Chain A
């Protein structure tokens, strides 16, 4: 019989070894899947994990990893603070959309003014938009004790409708011949509101910079600041937290607001940078994927940065495998699912050890 036994303290060895084990296990299971689909498993796995980092076109794809990881990290950092305190904001996707609409809206209202101040104002507007959208579930939670998971989730659908309205109505490009979508922020059409690559070919734009800065800031907050302590305490021991003077309402407003603002920022950077404009299908699920990233990173800011890059790798590498090897994109989705399962599953080894006992012997 196998039995789990709780470790007195988490194992440092397994803390670092589990991701490696999980990736190896995924390669084996995924390899079987690819073999079943009639592809050479070794080639597929090399295409997913090796080529984006060291392959022929890695000089381009490495930057793309950053483009993909940036918003995931930024949103996940915000979410992780709430998750630690037991506040479940599942609607980051909606806050991401609203941040993009508000940020882009402010920029478009000022078109075609050229001023250095425009972009910072848009950043503020984006953060405010996401913050305000997250405040709805937060205030409903504190005032009426309404479940924040569901309200924030419902608001995603509402935000998607507003997005459709924005791109076919109030933010539509007046020179776009009636086609849906706002004016473009990319290229030279509106430089003051644009969020271009900061270093050519690096994939780094202001969103990536903010993501990394926020990672560091969140780390310091959790390690050094009283607020970080309160967040951790509220999650681990709510009663003790109350005795310690933590006001749950305040914490809800703060954590939801912060995560909303960061999601809004991510949306704003995305719409002015890589996405380039408001369109009906602007959101591609970063808000939901970020939840997984937050947990993969074990709610630890530095872990989240790493997890964001791993997630990005499976997207970018998976695309390459799909294009070059003719794999259905559904196979890549299944592969990603497996990777998550293994990462979440083997995590148990960090906090538990496996003991073998003979049947019937306690």
Chain B
């Protein structure tokens, strides 16, 4: 008896939720846009930047849009519940801003075909209402690499890596490749921190590198701790802003930055829902689309290097240059890209190898 009631109410509830609002394809007067964050907004990095994008949506559309968000949602069952609550609560479009939400996003999307789901950094689009989006951060790494190769005096550059996943490996390769192009003697030191966010550990990692003679530190972890550590060297060590601009460390050690700028994408997608032009996409844009911004290159960088870096940025933005253009060999010397060949997206998205010249192994 109880079991039957439970089942029928559940079914009725979902049916109710499915019946409501207009399907995509028709213009809407009002959109409720919801955001699921993996960390606190106060992390100053990844989640903070997504929230900036959310606020930009609100600012652009004013009364026509209502935004809601939930911070620090653990991946897995909790994410699924939060997503369901949001979908039931009338959200028209839900942005899930971490790779780990992939299965939850697809599972919930299957139940709410009239709610649009946008999953950041994933690759699964099981139903028509799931889109994925990502940014070509490796394009920004190319500019960092060029600056690093030109600026290093010790010919040792460093990269604080988080986890051995394609996204990070891609960044390491791009960074090293472009440093090597302008400075053939350059050597790369990679430290795997096994965390996205642990300021003390990041500071220690930066310190360990600096003690090894590294004088340019790039990081794939989110806090400003590596920059703060570099700042203690009185200008001998430089680094880059990561995720957010980290302008407080200008002009040195922060000589440039990669800014995750989600605002253009969020504004575009919510706008598309409002005017009825919304379609499922697999978006992977970079500098050209404005998703990856290169923060101001400061006066600590010589004018000619700055000009060179800006030219590289503009070439990437214009599409005339791809950061992974052959000839590039894999670490073991086997060819990856032939002369003039550019890397297919598939290779990049599943990247599990270093390019030639990088020492050490990717932890497996």
Contacts and interface: CB of A to CB of B under 8 A. Distances in A.
Instruction: Consider the complex of A and B and state whether they touch directly, i.e. have CB atoms less than 8 Å apart.
Output: yes
Interface string B78-103: 10111011101100000000011001
B283 interface: no
B85 A57 contact: yes
A329 B35 CA distance: 14
Best-surrounded residue of B10, B41, B99, B163 (most CB of chain A within 10 A): B10
A8 interface: no
Given A59-B9, A186-B103, A323 B70 contact: yes
B75 A187 contact: no
A328 interface: yes
A328 B166 CA distance: 32
Contacts of A326: 68-69
A276 interface: yes
B235 interface: no
A165 interface: yes
Given A177-B166, A179-B99, A329-B70, A67 B86 contact: no
B74 A322 contact: no
Contacts of A178: 165-166, 349-352
Interface string B218-232: 000000000000000
Interface in B8-59: 9-13, 34, 40-41
Q: State the main secondary structure of chain B at its contact with A.
A: helix
A280 interface: yes
A232 B233 CA distance: 59
B68 to A, nearest CB: 6
A326 to B, nearest CB: 7
Nearest to A281: B75
Contact of A276 (B81, B103, B123): B103
B97 to A, nearest CB: 14
B123 A60 contact: no
Nearest to B77: A274
B13 A282 contact: no
A353 B73 CA distance: 42
A316 B86 CA distance: 13
Q: State the main secondary structure of chain A at its contact with B.
A: loop
B350 A177 contact: yes
Given A57-B88, A319-B82, A323-B85, A180 B165 contact: yes
B85 A199 contact: no
A44 B100 CA distance: 29
A60 B88 contact: yes
A92 to B, nearest CB: 17
B364 A169 contact: yes
A25 interface: no
Interface string A60-81: 1101100110000000000000
Category for how many chain B residues contact A: 35 or more
Contact of B107 (A67, A187, A324, A329): A187
Interface string A244-279: 000000000000000000000000001001111101
Contacts of A168: 163-165, 363-364
Contacts of A169: 363-364
A361 interface: no
Contacts of B12: 59
A160 B194 CA distance: 10
A59 B76 contact: no
A330 B76 contact: no
B1 interface: no
Contacts of B6: 59, 199, 201-202
Nearest to A167: B163
Contact of A319 (B11, B40, B70, B364): B70
A323 B89 contact: yes
Contacts of A95: none
A164 B13 CA distance: 38
B74 A280 contact: no
A151 interface: no
B137 to A, nearest CB: 16
Contacts, number: 133
B332 interface: no
A168 B167 CA distance: 13
Contact of B70 (A164, A316, A322): A322
A2 interface: no
Interface in A276-303: 276-277, 279-282, 284
Given A169-B363, A323-B85, A275 B76 contact: yes
A323 B165 contact: no
A285 B107 CA distance: 23
Contact of B81 (A165, A280, A319): A319
B363 A165 contact: yes
A359 interface: no
Contacts of A316: 81
A179 B352 contact: no
Contacts of A230: none
A350 B40 CA distance: 39
Interface string A26-59: 0000000000000000000000000000001101
Contacts of B308: none
Contacts of A236: none
Nearest to A325: B68
A161 interface: yes
Contact of A200 (B10, B34, B70): B10
B38 to A, nearest CB: 8
Interface in A165-223: 165, 168-169, 177-181, 184, 186-187, 199-202
Given A57-B85, A187-B107, A319-B85, A201 B34 contact: no
B220 to A, nearest CB: 14
Interface of A: 56-57, 59-61, 63-64, 67-68, 161, 164-165, 168-169, 177-181, 184, 186-187, 199-202, 270, 273-277, 279-282, 284, 315-316, 319-320, 322-324, 326, 328-330
Given A178-B165, A323-B70, 12 more contacts: A64-B81, A68-B81, A177-B350, A201-B6, A202-B10, A273-B77, A284-B78, A315-B78, A319-B85, A323-B85, A326-B69, A329-B71
30 contacts: A57-B13, A59-B12, A60-B84, A164-B194, A168-B363, A177-B123, A177-B350, A178-B165, A179-B123, A199-B6, A199-B7, A200-B7, A201-B11, A202-B10, A274-B80, A275-B76, A276-B76, A281-B74, A282-B76, A319-B82, A319-B85, A322-B70, A322-B71, A323-B82, A323-B85, A324-B68, A324-B89, A326-B69, A328-B40, A330-B40
